[in-house]
Amino acid sequence: MSPPLTLGLDADDTLWENQARFDFAQGNLRDLLSPWVDGEVVDETLLNIERNNVKLYGYGVKSFTLSSIQAAVELTKGEMTADLTTAIIESGWGIIEHPVEILPEVAETLEILSDCYQLLLITKGDPTDQYKKISASGLSDYFEGIEVVREKDPNTYLELLVRHNVDIKDFVMVGNSVPSDVLPVLSIEGRAIHIPHHSTWGHEQVDESVVESLTFPVVDSFSQLPDILADLPKS
C-alpha cells in the first residue's frame, strides 16, 4: 500500500491575506512621493529595487521597508526628510501589526485535509514575522511540520523533503505563487496545485509563455482542494 500524500501548503495569500497589506503600504509610498514623481514611476522603481534587495535582505516587511526608503532617496534625488523616512517606517509597522486574516474556508478545509494527508506548512520570509503570523493564525496544529525558508527553489524543496522523509512522488505543493510554489516543484518531478490570489506581488508573477507547456491544476478556492486531490492520478 502506497504512503499517503504529503501536502506542502504555502502560507501568505494561500492561508491568510498578506499582499493586500503591502499594496496598502505601497499606496502610501506613492502618496508620499507624489510631489516628485507619479505613481507608476514609484511602483516600477520600488519593484526593481526589491528584486535586487531580496538577495541581500530576503523577503518580508523589513526588506520591503528598506527598499521603500531606498526608492524614496532615489526618487527625491536626496531631498529625503526625517518625516518622510518616519512615515515609510510607520507603514512597515502597519503591516507587522495588522491582525492575521484567515482566507475563506481555509480552517474548515485544513481540518478535512489533515485527516487524509500529512500537511507541511512551507513559507518563505523573515522568520520572526512568519512565526508570529503562524502562531496568531491558530492553524499550526494542523501541520506535522513547519518550514520557514529563505527561498523556494528546487534545492530547498529537495532538502526539506529529505528532512521529512518524503518521496517526491508522494508530494504535492499548494500555493498562490507560480514561481515559488509550482515551477520549482515541477522541475524536480513533483506535483503542484495553483490557487491564484486576487493580488500578486510583481516579483511573483510569470509570463504566460513560461507555463503554457506545463500541466498543473488551477483552482478558484481553497475549499476545492479535497476534490482536486481525490482526482489526482496516482504517481
Regarding whether 112 and 175 lie in a shared domain, the answer is yes
pLDDT band at 202 (very low <50, low <70, confident <90, very high): low
Compute the average pLDDT of residues 108-135.
95
Regarding whether 136 and 225 lie in a shared domain, the answer is yes
Res. 199: pLDDT tops 80 = no
Res. 209: pLDDT tops 90 = no
What does the pLDDT read at residue 234? 67
Compute the average pLDDT of residues 212-229.
89
Residue 235 within a domain? no
**What DSSP line would sit under 29-54, residue for residue?**
HHHHTTTTS-HHHHHHHHHHHHHHHH
Last residue of a domain, one of 97, 126, 152: 97
17, 123 in Cβ contact below 8 A? no
Cell numbers that stand for 96 in this block = 507587522
pLDDT band at 136 (very low <50, low <70, confident <90, very high): very high
Residue 78 within a domain? yes
Distance CA 174, CA 176 (A): 7
Res. 23: pLDDT tops 70 = yes
Regarding whether 221 and 122 lie in a shared domain, the answer is yes
Residue 78 backbone class (left: φ over 0; alpha: ψ -120 to 50; beta: rest): left
Distance CA 232, CA 235 (A): 9
Regarding whether 149 and 37 lie in a shared domain, the answer is no
* Mean pLDDT of the chain, nearest integer: 92
146, 119 in Cβ contact below 8 A? no
CATH assignment at residue 194: 3.40.50.1000
3-state secondary structure at position 215: coil
Last residue of a domain, one of 97, 130, 146: 97
Res. 169: pLDDT tops 60 = yes
Regarding whether 140 and 33 lie in a shared domain, the answer is no
Regarding whether 210 and 144 lie in a shared domain, the answer is yes
Residue in the block written with cell 521529512: 164
The whole domain housing 66 covers 19-97
Q: How many domains does the chain have?
A: 2
CATH assignment at residue 58: 1.10.150.240
Residue 80 within a domain? yes
Regarding whether 91 and 37 lie in a shared domain, the answer is yes
Regarding whether 224 and 115 lie in a shared domain, the answer is yes
**What tens digit of pLDDT does each residue of 57-72 get?**
888 899 999 999 999 9
Res. 235: pLDDT tops 70 = no
What does the pLDDT read at residue 18? 93
Residue 1 within a domain? no
